Structure 1
Amino acid sequence: MSESRTPTYIYKLVSFTSPIPDPVPETLPLSELDAADGFMHFSTSRQIPRTLKRFFAQDPRVTILRIDYSKVEHEIRWEDSKGTAPREVGGEGIFPHIYNRALSKADIESMLVLESNNGDWDEALKKAERWMLY
């Protein structure tokens, strides 16, 4: 029997340069990348390690927002990182994207702050394993 390709959660990684306010506002501003691309970039739990190492290598900490996939599934487009080449759910190199809106407070199931060890995310990822569910 094959493992489900549909995730339970998707994750939004937020740089330390754009901290999430406390309390969390009703609508979060789009990141510069999301605004420029016209969609919000998300990762599955399996994609987080590569996303951290590729796009957040210089960040000392990152906030990860966990989103219940079932609540946003109807809005998700599974595409490559550039928003082209639509593909199958959970495919290799294929990411969940949401177009034409910002993330709302109601979308966030929970959040976690990870801290790197001088650019090395392995220890933080190990500690977060139980929270980062596919």
Structure 2
Amino acid sequence: MLIYKIFRADEWAAFDSQGETLGAAIDLSDGFIHFSTAEQAAETAAKHFAGVQGLMLLAFETDRLGEALEWEVSRGDALFPHLYRALKRSELIWVKPLPLVDGVHQFPAGMA
């Protein structure tokens, strides 16, 4: 199953060049890396990245993330994937821009 991480351009650039990351500021504060499922990603973008240009959408395969990936209750009592370790660039399946059109982030077709 693919899960998704949204990064600002500078966060993506740092991850891409350094080869691993502990996530964005919120991830560092919370002590784990936040991910979303395909069904959760648009709401995550609207809630946490409203109006932000230059976002990147990163896809990861849950099976490759191992036991440090936990599913925990969060927004709306839904289970969200959280990673309790550094994320490695080598685990990335794909990365795509997440353009903002008329105030709404445009997700790739068929990302589920």
Change (3 A) 1:109 1:61: same
RMSD: 2.3
Q: 1:68-122: CA deviations, max 9, x gaps? A: 111114222111238xxxxxxxx962100011x221111111111111024222x
- Please tell me the residue identity of whatever aligns with 1:119: G
Q: Report which of the two structures shows the higher radius of gyration computed on alpha carbons.
A: 1
* Structure 2: tracts of 5 or more residues without a match: none
Provide the rounded CA distance (Å) in 2 between the counterparts of 1:44 and 1:98: 13
- 1:14 matched to 2:7: yes
Aligned to 1:97: 82
Is the 8 Å Cα contact of residues 3 and 37 (structure 2) preserved in structure 1?
yes
AA aligned to 1:70 is D
Aligned pairs for 1:52-91 within 5 A: 52-81=45-74
TM-score (norm 1): 0.72
Say yes or no: does 1:44 pair with 2:37.
yes
Higher fraction of strand: 2
> In 1, distance between residues paired with 2:109 and 2:63?
21
Q: Is the 8 A contact 1:13 1:63 kept in 2?
A: yes
TM-score w.r.t. length of structure 2: 0.85
- Alignment partner for residue 115 of structure 1, among 91, 99, 106? 99
Whole-Å separation in 2 of the counterparts to 1:32 and 1:23: 17
Q: Contact 2:4 / 2:60 at 8 angstroms: preserved in 1?
A: yes
Structure-1 separation of matches of 2:73 and 2:58? 21
Question: In structure 2, what residue type is equivalent to 1:94?
Answer: L
- Whether the 8 Å CA contact 1:16–1:61 is kept in 2: the answer is yes
Give the residue type in structure 1 aligned to 2:30.
Answer: D
Q: Give the total of aligned pairs.
A: 112
Q: 1:26 and 2:6 equivalent? A: no
Rate the CA distance shift 1:16–1:129 in 2: closer, same or farther, 3 A. same
What SS class does the counterpart of residue 18 from structure 2 fall into? coil
Determine the C-alpha separation between the residues in 2 that align with 1:114 and 1:12.
Answer: 11
